[in-house]
Amino acid sequence: MNTLFKIAWRNVWRSRLRTFVILGAIILGVWAVIFITSLSNGMVKSYINNAVQTEVSHIQIHHPDFLKDRAIEFSVGDADKVLASIQSTKGVKAVTKRTLTNAMLSSSKGARGVQVKAIDFNREKEVTNIATKVIEGEFFEEKGRNPILISRRIADKLKVKVRSKMVLTFTDLSGEVTAASFRVKGIFNTGIAPFDEANVIIRQEDLNRLLAPEAVLINQAPDQKFDVESLTHEFALLVNDTKLVDEIAGDIEFQFPHLKVQTFRQVSPELELYETSIGLTGMIVMTIFMLALIFGIINTMLMAVLERIKELGMLMAVGMNKRSVFSMVVIETLMLGLIGTPIGLFLGYLTVTYFGNAGIDLSSYGEGIEGFGMSTMLYPSLENSLYIQLAIGVFITAILGSLYPAWKAIRLKPVEAIRSL
């Protein structure tokens, strides 16, 4: 067996150019699969993280009817009690509450429809990253009357800046149209264009005061006075470990069976779709690579066999059995794989590690990428299992690719092979 390895090893280096070409193909292919997959993974993570940190959070809780028609009267009753209870649920990192309504936002230069997110700003900072996305002016504080945060996009479209005055017009709980003036406290840029174009942020206490001066919730007894402080449409929370998100959602649902509890995958089903489709694309890329590699290997090894017909004939003439000849061709092919794959894996690992830390700046494509909901800095990442999968994949491909040339080699008749030119 040692001799077979020795001959196979020396045969590998017999035609150096050919060996380097196929090694180059293996190395480049392995590297490319790693890099493309890590980019895709980075994109998925960036997309999901952005969505979770800015907008969706890990779990959202609503009145079940609110999700159907987003009417302001579908508030979660007893919001403070619910909040305290969620806060004390095991695995919950932070929770915040919001009042949501649709409104018309006007400046002296124009108007547009927006969704108003009225937040508990101290809690919000612990759940979303919106406070860190303020690029001009400041985030909310206790003092001041009717501050509003708008995005850079809306500010540009309505031609306003920090401290400009704006008017929000919306329907209150009694069904009356009401308007209030706000002053721009800060301008944010989340990097997620759809979010930035649709949302403005104000303090929950300000909106609640405007929405429910005298109103009564439809699910409350007519004689019960509405509690302004308690008006809340949405709870959003982060968990400590995303793997446990379903379990924690189940716990909360158990505590509040009358509320609708949804994980981020249910709130934004496109996250899962995106995750799946990127995974599928990765599989397709890997399959194409393996197919290309298998044909590359067949081609190379077939050349290696065909140019050695005479020699193979001689080996069989002097008594090398077919099993050994077959093994020799397979071993030669495996050697190519065993040299190329670790180099490709190592280069791939270095690339992923480097860009995983340094990031890839995609700001020159910023518009399109932000429009899609990803940040412009991409951090490729890859699970270790893919390196192992890839190594096994190339190993199997090399064996498969060697079978035909090896079969061709043992089909040679020594008497004809020796005399061939």
Partner 1 sequence: MNVIHTENIKKTYNPDTIPVEALKGVDLSIKQGEFTAIVGPSGSGKTTLLNIIGGLDRPTEGYIEVGQKDISKLSDNQLIDFRRENIGFVFQAYNLIPVLTAKENVEFVMLLQNRSEDERNARTIELLEAVGLGDKIDSRPSQLSGGQQQRVAVARALAPKPTFILADEPTANLDSKSTANLLDIMARLNKEENITFVFSTHDQRVIDRARRVITLEDGVISTDIQQHN
Residues binding partner 1 (CB under 8 A)? 3, 6-7, 10-11, 14, 310-311, 313-322, 324, 414-415, 418
Rounded distance, CA 257 to CA 251, Å?
Answer: 10
Minimum Å gap between C-beta 23 and partner 1 is 18
Minimum Å gap between C-beta 329 and partner 1 is 14
Minimum Å gap between C-beta 321 and partner 1 is 5
CB atoms inside a 10 Å sphere around CB 4: 16
Minimum Å gap between C-beta 4 and partner 1 is 9
- Our CB check for partner 1 shows the closer of 320 and 347 to be 320
Helices (H) and strands (E) in the chain, counts: 16, 12
Is residue 264 within 8 Å of 245, Cβ to Cβ?
A: yes
Minimum Å gap between C-beta 3 and partner 1 is 5
Which residues, listed in sequence order, are joined to residue 183 by a DSSP beta bridge? 147, 165
- Our CB check for partner 1 shows the closer of 57 and 327 to be 327
The CA-based dihedral angle spanning residues 367, 371, 376, 379, taken in that order and rounded to the nearest 10 degrees: -140
Which residues, listed in sequence order, are joined to residue 116 by a DSSP beta bridge? 101, 200
- Segments in 200-321 forming alpha helices (H): 204-211, 245-255, 264-267, 269-306, 309-317
Rounded distance, CA 345 to CA 190, Å?
Answer: 35
Is residue 350 within 8 Å of 34, Cβ to Cβ?
A: no
Rounded distance, CA 103 to CA 122, Å?
Answer: 24
Q: Which of 403, 411, 405, 400 lies closest to 305 in space, CA to CA?
A: 405
Minimum Å gap between C-beta 320 and partner 1 is 6
Rounded distance, CA 285 to CA 34, Å?
Answer: 10
Minimum Å gap between C-beta 286 and partner 1 is 34
- Our CB check for partner 1 shows the closer of 213 and 414 to be 414
- Our CB check for partner 1 shows the closer of 9 and 365 to be 9
- Our CB check for partner 1 shows the closer of 367 and 416 to be 416
- Our CB check for partner 1 shows the closer of 71 and 320 to be 320
Token readout for 193 is 């264009």
Q: Is 73 exposed, middle or buried (0-12, 13-18, 19+ CB in 10 A)?
A: buried
- Our CB check for partner 1 shows the closer of 50 and 300 to be 300
Minimum Å gap between C-beta 15 and partner 1 is 11
- Our CB check for partner 1 shows the closer of 166 and 325 to be 325
Rg (CA), the chain: 32
